[in-house]
């Protein structure tokens, strides 16, 4: 297939393009950060493509989390940005769109399993991602396939992982929510194979991630990798200062990827989170600079 990959970051290209190319697909890159009117106009680039893969923008981290400008840019990319790319795909005659969305659109389910039928909780923070999903669903028809991948937070070769390690190395808390709650993660090594599998599935929403892991396990692993004896969780005051943006990231989500695995045979190479997941962020001396 001729597959267009729309991304705004080199990291997402590293996650996806090698998997597609090694499977024999012809990959076209669409720079999501290109300004309107540039030579990277989506419709022209998408003509002749069989599929479009839309990678989500990275979450703002560190000081950027306090920047309204950074969040507005992120929200536009998740909502109107996805809608514009989907419209371009329709005009160019692309027959399949695969969108990376986020599993934190689901409502907090405590210890219960989260499936694609579980309730979502749309707030001001998650609405942009939901709008992007709706654009893909509206594109779907009898002759067009729309696939939404609700991925876990990407750990490993990601800005979020590097920021978490730097923060833990300084002795600051990185944990959100209840220590006994569950979080949904996906190693960067497994993003590409998931996208590859999504080129074959029927239209629909699919959860994609590793096995569920408790939040305290993740926090302690970051502390150990950063050379600290123990990690910590943000208190109510810090969480409150973080505002509505942190709430979805604190939800307890014990997510099942059984539907996607059943349709594709996909299984993550990094099935269960452990300390080695953080190696892809670089050595502690590099990650903590």
Residue-wise pLDDT tens digits, 27-38:
999 987 755 444
pLDDT in tens, 236-272: 655 655 667 889 999 999 999 999 999 999 999 999 9
What are the sequence ranges of the domains in the chain? Answer: 2-287
Looking at 1.10.3720.10, 3.30.70.1350, 3.40.640.10, 3.40.50.720, the CATH number of the domain 2-287 comes to 3.40.50.720
Element (H, E) at 65: none
pLDDT in tens, 184-225: 999 999 999 999 999 999 999 999 999 999 999 999 999 999
d(CA 283, CA 28): 32
d(CA 240, CA 223): 23
Q: How far is CA 184 from CA 107, 140, 181, in A?
A: 13, 27, 10
DSSP 1: -
Q: pTM above the 0.75 mark?
A: yes
Q: What are phi and psi of 191, to 5 degrees?
A: -65, -45
| Contact call for residues 145 and 203 (beta carbons, < 8 A) | yes
| Contact call for residues 242 and 235 (beta carbons, < 8 A) | no
Neighbours of 212 (CB within 10 A): 20
Which of 47-56, 68-77, 275-284 has the lowest average pLDDT?
A: 275-284
């Amino acid at each position: 297939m001729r597959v267009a990959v729309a991304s705004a970051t080199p990291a997402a290209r590293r996650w996806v393009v090698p998997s597609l190319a090694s499977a024999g697909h012809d990959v076209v890159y669409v720079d999501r950060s290109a300004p309107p009117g540039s030579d990277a106009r989506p419709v022209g680039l998408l003509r002749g493509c069989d599929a479009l893969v839309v990678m989500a923008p990275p979450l703002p981290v560190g000081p950027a989390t306090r920047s309204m400008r950074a969040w507005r840019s992120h929200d536009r990319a998740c909502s109107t940005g996805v809608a514009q790319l989907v419209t371009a795909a329709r005009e160019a005659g692309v027959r399949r769109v695969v969108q990376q969305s986020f599993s934190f659109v689901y409502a907090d389910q405590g210890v219960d399993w989260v499936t694609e039928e579980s309730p979502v909780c749309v707030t001001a923070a998650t609405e942009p991602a939901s709008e992007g999903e709706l654009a893909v669903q509206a594109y779907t028809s009898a002759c067009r396939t729309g696939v939404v991948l609700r991925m876990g937070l990407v750990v490993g070769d990601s800005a979020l992982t590097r920021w978490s390690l730097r923060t833990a190395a300084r002795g600051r808390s990185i944990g959100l929510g209840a220590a006994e709650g569950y979080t949904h993660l996906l190693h960067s090594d497994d993003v590409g194979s998931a996208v590859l599998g999504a080129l074959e599935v029927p239209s629909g929403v699919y959860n994609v991630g590793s096995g569920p892991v408790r939040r305290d396990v993740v926090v302690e692993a970051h502390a150990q990798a950063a050379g600290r004896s123990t990690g910590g969780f943000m208190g109510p005051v810090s969480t409150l200062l973080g505002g509505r943006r942190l709430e979805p990231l604190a939800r307890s989500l014990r997510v099942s990827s059984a539907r996607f695995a059943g349709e594709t045979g996909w299984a993550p190479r990094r099935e269960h989170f452990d300390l080695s997941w953080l190696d892809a962020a670089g050595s502690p001396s590099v990650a903590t600079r």
